[in-house]
């Protein structure tokens, strides 16, 4: 390949770093890919750092030593996060989402790659410093947002199944009681899905009383894994006391008025602090 | 915001375009975001086009007219796709993946964000010109790769459930017969998940006789949606005749020798042609 000009290299560098956030790329990777000297790449990275800061996209970190290199840590700015959460809660308020029985149709939002990507970035931004080893969820509706969170943190996703599968080898199954309907449910996870002593972030789409989250926490004990936090997209305001306490939610569902066809849902702007 | 230098703008431009492939961003979006004149942005885009071509990352297209703007169409190069498929089949060959009953443990691969992202890009590259409206899959194991395919195409993901859910409103349910075990199964999808007359790409992780893919095809008929293609990660070599024919698979499972603990799986390099 012929030598690239500086602004070509900067563009390509940002493409590569953006594609795989939080992943450490070695300097060698770029010297080979761009056919450039290490000193040139170092200068490029300084420029990339500047632009990422100037535009409030997060930060670019350089790691020294044998396992060293450079990584892009995207962080949604407070301003952008606020804007996004307000837009998101407006979307959930749309009247035609109301279903018989007081349920809300939400899969079109949860399965939109762009929205799921933004949700994943908000969760990742909150747990960036926790050195998470896995993102854990339970099937099905929370999988897309969990996948995007895992991508933003550059860690594997783990999906707990409702039933043990032959395709997962030896599994650990637990029973748990749903917090609101008091039904006994099962969840099941392959023995080899999580290494002992890991740190996990639990992600799910919806929390009412927190029974499922509590179940996942219990499951994690079986794997001697530490739950660093729980991120849910929507938590209901009632019951106030959930079965888990170490969770954050992006939106709060305050209630539904079936007669007026109103959904009362608000962004939790206090997650923007700290 | 103060004015950005050109290489800052190029880096930021590539960050924004890479974050959301196949999405059309207006020129206004960039003139506002970068506080720069339209002519300046046009010049930046010319440079971005050059670098994307030079590094074989796909292409940047400019669309004129009222709905006009610019989009990044990432395309994995043939060389990189080949390399990726060979690495991937080597991963599936690892001896300790073999489970009792001749099953292969594969969730760690399917749920790796980076691998799923690459798989999604390969599928998206194959169906780029088809004007896909939705990516459709059936729960559970195929969801992450389907989500990444949907992201690469900038279209919504649709997940068919095994059972109808109260949270999805009115649903369409169909029965289908699994191709290999001849069991009757159900799949269910919210009436409002897909608009009539849409064009869909079906994605799944595994295909043996093709019963599930056939079921999805039948389901799509109920939505008057056209199946533009089916992408599966792994198809078994036997039975050669599947219940669907318009599919591509990235890998072929040729067989398993439980005694020798060998998994015979090969990349389908012929998908690189055409």
Tell me if the bond preceding A99 is cis, omega within 30° of 0.
Answer: no
Is a pLDDT exceeding 80 seen at residue A1?
Answer: no
Structural domain of B12: 6-74
| Residues B108 and B50 placed together within one structural domain of the fold | no
Query: What pLDDT is attached to residue A99?
Result: 93
Q: Indicate whether A59 and A137 sit together in one domain.
A: no
Contact list, A77 vs chain B (CB under 8 Å): none
A156-197, pLDDT tens digit by residue?
999 999 988 888 899 999 999 987 788 999 999 999 999 999
Mutation target for A interface from B7, B100, B165, B253: give the one with most A CBs within 10 A.
B7
Q: What is the CATH number of the domain that holds B166?
A: 3.40.50.2020
Specify whether A221 is located in the same domain as A238.
Answer: yes
Q: Which residues of A159-188 are buried (b: 16+ CB within 10 A; e: fewer)?
A: bbbeebeebbbebbebebebbeeeeeeebb
Question: Is it the case that residue A66 has pLDDT exceeding 90?
Answer: no
Q: What is the pLDDT of residue B274?
A: 63
Q: How many domains does chain A have?
A: 2
Q: Which residue is closest to A35 within chain B, CA to CA? A: B55
Yes or no: say if A209 and A180 are a contact pair by the CB < 8 Å rule.
Answer: yes
CB contact under 8 Å between A14 and B19, yes or no, is: no
Of B74, B92, B108, the last residue of a domain is B74
Same domain, B70 and B82: no
Q: In the structure, what pLDDT confidence band is assigned to residue A239 with cuts at 50, 70 and 90?
A: very high
**Is B14 within the bounds of a domain?**
yes
Find out whether B150 and B202 touch, Cβ atoms under 8 Å. no
Answer yes or no: do A62 and A158 share one domain: no
Instruction: Tell me whether residue B245 is in a domain.
Output: yes
Residue A273 CA to residue B3 CA, distance in Å, equals 29
B4, A54: Cβ pair inside 8 Å?
A: yes
Percent of chain A with pLDDT over 90: 88
Same domain? B30 vs B111 = no
| A56 and A189, same domain (yes or no) | no
Residues A51, A129, single domain; the answer is no
Report how far apart, in Å, the C-alpha atoms of A54 and of each of A7, A19, A74, A203, B1 are: 17, 20, 13, 31, 8
B4 contacts A7? CB cut-off 8 A: no
Average pLDDT over residues A219-244: 97
Assign residue A51 the CATH number of its domain. 1.10.10.10
Q: What percent of chain A has pLDDT over 70?
A: 99
Q: Is residue A218 domain-resident?
A: yes
Average pLDDT over all residues of chain A: 95
Q: Which residues of A touch B105 (CB under 8 A)?
A: 167-169, 190, 192
pLDDT at B179: 76
Average pLDDT over residues A49-57: 94
Residue A37 lies in a domain: yes
Q: In the beta sheet, which residues pair with residue B99?
A: B103
- Per the domain annotation, does A1 fall within a domain? no
Pair A43, A115 in one domain: no
The nearest alpha carbon in chain B to A193 belongs to B108
Which of A7, A103, A190 comes nearest B166 by C-beta?
A103
* Residues A212, A108 share a domain: yes
Instruction: Indicate whether B1 belongs to any domain.
Output: no
Determine whether the interchain pair A193/B108 forms a contact, defined as Cβ–Cβ distance below 8 Å. yes
Residues A170 and A98 grouped into a single domain: yes
pLDDT surpasses 90 at A219? yes
Is residue B94 located within the same domain as residue B141?
yes
pLDDT at A274 over 80: no
What are the chain A neighbours of B47 within 8 Å (beta carbons)? 7-8, 11
Mean pLDDT of A96-115: 95
Q: Do B161 and A140 touch (CB under 8 A)?
A: yes
Q: Is B221 exposed, middle or buried (0-12, 13-18, 19+ CB in 10 A)?
A: exposed
Among B74, B106, B133, residue at a domain's last position: B74
* B118 → chain A, closest CA residue: A19
Blockwise average pLDDT, block size 10, chain B, 274 residues: 86 97 96 94 96 94 89 93 98 94 94 98 94 97 98 98 88 90 93 97 97 96 98 97 96 95 96 82
């Amino acid at each position: 390949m012929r030598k690239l000009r500086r602004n070509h290299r900067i563009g390509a560098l940002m493409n590569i770093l953006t594609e795989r956030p939080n992943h450490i790329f070695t300097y060698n990777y770029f010297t080979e890919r761009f056919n450039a000297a290490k000193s040139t790449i170092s200068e490029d990275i300084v420029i990339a750092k500047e632009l990422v800061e100037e535009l409030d996209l997060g930060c670019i970190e350089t790691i020294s030593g044998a396992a060293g290199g450079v990584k892009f840590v995207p962080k949604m700015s407070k301003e952008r996060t606020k804007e996004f959460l307000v837009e998101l809660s407006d979307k959930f308020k749309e009247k035609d989402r109301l279903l018989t029985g007081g349920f809300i149709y939400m899969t079109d939002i949860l399965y939109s790659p762009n929205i799921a990507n933004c949700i994943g970035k908000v969760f990742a931004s909150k747990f960036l410093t926790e050195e998470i080893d896995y993102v854990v969820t339970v099937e099905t509706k929370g999988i897309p947002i969990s996948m995007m969170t895992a991508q933003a943190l550059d860690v594997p996703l783990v999906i707990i199944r409702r039933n043990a599968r032959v395709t997962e080898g030896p599994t650990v199954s637990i029973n748990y009681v749903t917090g609101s309907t008091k039904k006994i449910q099962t969840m099941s996870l392959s023995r080899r899905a999580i290494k002992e002593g890991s740190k996990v972030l639990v992600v799910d789409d919806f929390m009412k009383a927190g029974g499922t989250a509590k179940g996942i926490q219990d499951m994690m004990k079986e794997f001697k894994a530490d739950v660093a936090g729980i991120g849910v997209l929507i938590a209901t305001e009632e019951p106030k006391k959930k079965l888990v306490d170490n969770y954050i939610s992006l939106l709060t569902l305050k209630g539904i008025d079936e007669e007026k066809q109103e959904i009362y849902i608000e962004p939790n702007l206090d997650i923007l602090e700290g």
